[in-house]
Amino acid sequence: MPFLTIRDLGILRGVRIRDGIVEVSISPTYSGCPANDVISLDIVTTLARAGIDTVQVAIERNPPWTTDWITVAGREKLARNGIAPPQRAAGKRALFDAEPVACPRCGSLDTELVSAFGSTACKAHHRCVACREPFEAFKCI
């Protein structure tokens, strides 16, 4: 999702310079996410373009990332790009409680789950009954 930054997603934990090395710490959205390596490479590449060649990316898994960490700006960018952001606080029950998902296009809560499996493991396919448009929604983790 090129329209989001690692800060928007809430996976950026910190940046510091120690002994001339820029250390960037991030949290994976989940341990099996195929984007983890790409995100780390993108951090290194982006900093190299800015003239910073000594970069170390550290993965922090504790505490684990949650969709609660997605920023307000990140949630707005998701919706603007047709992906419904998670609507409520994360927790174990969020995976099982069916809460209406607002359509990111028209805002209607008259939506239905088409498939719990979206284009990535962190998203699900939905359809808006009101505007008849399909959309993806971030799963609450």
Let me know whether 88 and 120 are in one domain.
yes
Give the pLDDT confidence of 120-132 residue by residue, as tens digits. 878 899 999 999 9
Q: Is residue 68 part of a domain?
A: no
Establish if 43 belongs to a structural domain: yes
Instruction: Give pTM, 2 decimals.
Output: 0.79
Bridge-based pairing of strands 21-26 and 55-59 is: parallel
Domain count, the chain: 2
Residues 55 and 82 in one domain: no
Is residue 67 one of the residues assigned to a domain?
no
Are the C-beta atoms of 4 and 77 separated by less than 8 Å? yes
Is residue 1 included in any domain, yes or no?
no
The pLDDT tens digits for 79-125 are 999 999 987 665 555 555 567 899 999 999 999 999 988 888 788 99
Whole-number Cα distances in Å, 117 to 40, 77, 78, 121, 137: 25, 22, 18, 6, 10
In a domain, 66, yes or no: no
Biggest CA-to-CA distance, the chain: 57
What pLDDT sits at residue 95? Answer: 55
Helix (H) or strand (E) holding 80: helix 72-80
Domain that holds residue 124: 78-138
Other Cβ atoms less than 10 A from the Cβ of 38: the count is 10
Give the whole-angstrom CA distance, residue 34 versus residue 54: 24
Residue 65 lies in a domain: no
